[in-house]
Amino acid sequence: MAERILLCLCHMSGNEMKYINEAFADNWVVPLGPNVNGFEKDLERFFLGTDTTHCIVALSSGTAAIHLALVALGIGPGDEVMVQSFTFSASANPVKYVGATPVFVDSEPETWNMDPNLLDRAIADRIAKTGKKPKAIIPVYLYGMPAKIDEILAVGRKWDIPVVEDSAEAFGSRYKNRYCGTFGRYGILSFNGNKMITTSGGGALICPDEEAARLVTNYATQSREATPWYQHERLGFNYRLSNISAGIGRGQMTIAEEHIAHHRGVQRQYRKLFADLPGIQLHENPGPDFDSNFWLCAITFGPDIKVKGDDGCGRPEAMRRALEKENIETRHLWKPMHLQPYFADAPSYVNGVSEDLFSRGLCLPAGPYVGEKEAERVVAAIAGAIE
């Protein structure tokens, strides 16, 4: 059996243990400490450069980061939040955590992300129906592809609604030369095991200023007041990143640029290989403003592509099974949230784009262990599974 090719496996730089050993030597095996501060500084250097207004707070997960962004914005029961439907459930679940209602908005076909025109119409319709303005807009950078964020921000400005960017998959992606996650009121990052960099589990919130960062840090540490006794004036959370995990993060930051370059290199490989396979479309940057990190490479099947073994299960599933037999891991595109049983009651504004993509797309391996040979094996297996 040929060696297994995984979708996206974590890859260590070799520097991680140095920071972890330091934490042990100094007995900083706790959810704060020098690695947390160091990791936040590393992230700020990477994402913000000379911008000294924004601040980054390291948290226990990307999901926690979205949750605290909503808490910091004062969103609660009775409120609505506009969420991209075509995404992983973690974009939408925190809206339920705060007792608010997600309102799902479909995607446009170029970036696969939130359709700004549909968003605008959906907000107008929510106000007409409920008499209230939605409290936030959560666009997502699916598979690392920048959304049409200028247009989305313009809609946010028009209605005076803050934007929270779910940049969990887009570490290092840029729109008009600026990093995704730094455009909205808040931006969230994830360092889960299979993301662009990992802390085994972790996340971060890019905050608009120091005051917001202090508020978020306070919420993340049980909302403890600065009194000698434990005093709490707000609901608190235990969402800080551990000093051990942050040590992994510091090590990962030493090779973040290499990881991103590698993923873009895998996309180039696929581009070359799929050129000989008409009918299979690789998801690409739609123009020079867009610079995806290609966290996962994704394809769609054109109308003429028939997949062997499609017994009614659909082409993506038939292809996934065929590649699994070749020991290659692939994944369906995210099943839109407006089709999820759990969110069946949530309002949604749908244009058919995410349902169409879900019915004919697939994510391909793109991680640190996918080289030239592996990409060739993946594309050969795909070619072999087409009728």
Query: Which chain residues interact with ligand PLP by CB under 6 A?
Result: 61-63, 87-88, 90-91, 140, 166, 168-169, 190, 192, 203
Q: For the residues of 16-67, what is the DSSP string, one character each?
A: HHHHHHHHHHTT--SSSSHHHHHHHHHHHHHHHTT--S-EEEEES-HHHHHH
Please give the Cα distance from 42 to 49 (Å, whole number).
10
Nearest approach, Cβ of 62 to ligand PLP (angstroms)?
A: 3
Residue placing its CB nearer to ligand PLP in the complex, 19 or 295:
295
Residue placing its CB nearer to ligand PLP in the complex, 90 or 318:
90
Residue placing its CB nearer to ligand PLP in the complex, 11 or 224:
11
Amino acid of residue 150: D
Secondary element (H or E) of residue 274: helix 256-274
Q: Are 329 and 365 in contact (CB under 8 A)?
A: yes
Q: Are 78 and 325 in contact (CB under 8 A)?
A: no
Nearest approach, Cβ of 94 to ligand PLP (angstroms)?
A: 9
Residue placing its CB nearer to ligand PLP in the complex, 184 or 322:
184
Residue placing its CB nearer to ligand PLP in the complex, 101 or 190:
190
Nearest approach, Cβ of 184 to ligand PLP (angstroms)?
A: 14
Nearest approach, Cβ of 25 to ligand PLP (angstroms)?
A: 28
Nearest approach, Cβ of 44 to ligand PLP (angstroms)?
A: 19
Residue placing its CB nearer to ligand PLP in the complex, 322 or 363:
363
Q: Are 313 and 69 in contact (CB under 8 A)?
A: no
Please give the Cα distance from 11 to 251 (Å, whole number).
11
Nearest approach, Cβ of 241 to ligand PLP (angstroms)?
A: 11
Q: Which residue's entry shows tokens 């936030």?
A: 136
Nearest-CB residue for ligand PLP: 62
Q: Retrieve residue 30's tokens.
A: 């706790």
- Edge-first strand order for the sheet with 136-138 is 136-138, 80-84, 101-105, 348-349
